[in-house]
Structure 1
Amino acid sequence: MPLTLAVANGTSIDLDYLRANYSRAVTDKTLCNRMITDLRQSNRSAVAGAYYGALLCVRAKHSLNPMQKLQSFNAGKAALEAAVARVPKNVEVRFLRLSIQQNIPRFLNYRSDVDEDRRYLAAHMHKITSVELKSMILAALTDDYKPVQDR
């Protein structure tokens, strides 16, 4: 049975779908945009809001226009930080912030929580039941992790 997040308009978002496609969205612009559209109405949940924010940051990578890149990144950063503020002890939300912070260009100055999030995730891995999520977090915490090229 898929895990879902109930959203304000009565629809639900499949967490397994988000987890399975999050990494793919980095290289697939169409998928990234479709996931953002799917989440647009659901960002009232902290986890859905964190995915929405992370995907907006990823969408910045796909944009060619520097202003659109910056607007998408800033909106994504704000949504991510709002999600972390709502549920600072949520492992998935902290992972999403880490995945963005350790992969963005340094000049954007959004890397201040990398060490803290890495420590938090390492200390709370035992709480994760999703194989997909655990796999993504382990990849982010190991030396095998290959960050997205600077955008």
Structure 2
Amino acid sequence: MRFLIIILSVFSLNTQSLNFDAVRDAYKVAANDKTKVESFHKLLSKVNKEDNAVLIAYKGASIALLAKHAKTIKEKKEGFIEGVSFIEYAIEKSPDIIEVRFVRLSIQENSPKLLKYKSNLEEDKQFLLAQFKNIKFPHLKNHIKDYISQSKVFTDEEKSVILGS
């Protein structure tokens, strides 16, 4: 029994040592620079569905970003579907976490229409607008604010409300 506890502790320490600010920064960079996608994905390689919902969502995003740069259409589609499954699992696990909704919105906004993964854009946008003022962590607030400022999903009026916060 003691051995089992030690093994479980080692596995959970691997993902607990991830710094959320570093993950956010890596996501932002990877989303805009295809040469950084692999390192973002590697950063989250040990994350599994038992971990924190935010990390699960970012892992899904890393898989979806990898798929975007895959060589064949089949690899692109399969990778995207796998990535989305992690994001949707994170939403099911913790639907009230703003960062999980943010990750889904950013992937949906930037996914090709062909993949038909855009059905929650308005729902997630409204969630972000309603909950933005409740974000306690300045780094997360700035991370989401930076995204909203360049997003096409948000109107100029919505942007001005958020950017004025």
In structure 1, give the amino acid aligned to 2:46.
Q
Please name the residue that 2:66 is paired with.
59
User: Could you tell me which of 17, 35, 48 is aligned with 2:40?
Assistant: 35
Aligned: 1:48 with 2:55:
yes
Partner of 2:89: 82
Of the candidates 87, 93, 99, which is equivalent to residue 100 of structure 2?
Answer: 93
**Residue type at the aligned position of 2:78:** Q
Task: State the match for 1:128 in structure 2.
Answer: 135
Query: Would you tell me which structure has more helix in proportion to its own residues?
Result: 2
- The number of aligned residues is 141
> Over residues 22-48 of structure 1, what are the superposed CA-to-partner deviations in whole Å (9 max), with x where a residue is unaligned?
121024334221222221212322111
Give, in whole Å, the separation in 2 of the partners of 1:7 and 1:80: 25
Aligned pair 1:145/2:151, yes or no?
A: yes
Aligned-pair distance for 1:79?
0.3
Q: Is 1:70 aligned to residue 97 of structure 2?
A: no
Decide whether aligned partners of structure 1 residues 35 and 106 sit closer, same or farther in structure 2, where only a CA change above 3 A counts: same
Partners of 1:92 and 1:61 in 2: CA distance: 22
Q: Which residue of structure 2 aligns with residue 21 of structure 1? A: 26
Q: State the TM-score, normalized to the length of structure 1.
A: 0.83
Gaps of 5+ in 1: 1-5
Q: Secondary structure at 1:8's aligned position in 2?
A: helix
Q: Which moved more, 1:41-50 or 1:101-110?
A: 41-50
Q: Percent identity, please.
A: 35
Deviations 1:88-107 (A, max 9, x none): 00000000000000111111
Tell me the amino acid that sits aligned with residue 76 of structure 2.
K
* Gap change, CA 1:146 and 1:112, over 3 Å in 2: closer
Aligned with residue 112 of structure 2, among 59, 80, 105? 105
Q: TM-score, normalised by structure 2?
A: 0.76
- The alpha-carbon distance between structure 1 residues 91 and 62, as it changes in their structure 2 partners (threshold 3 A), is same
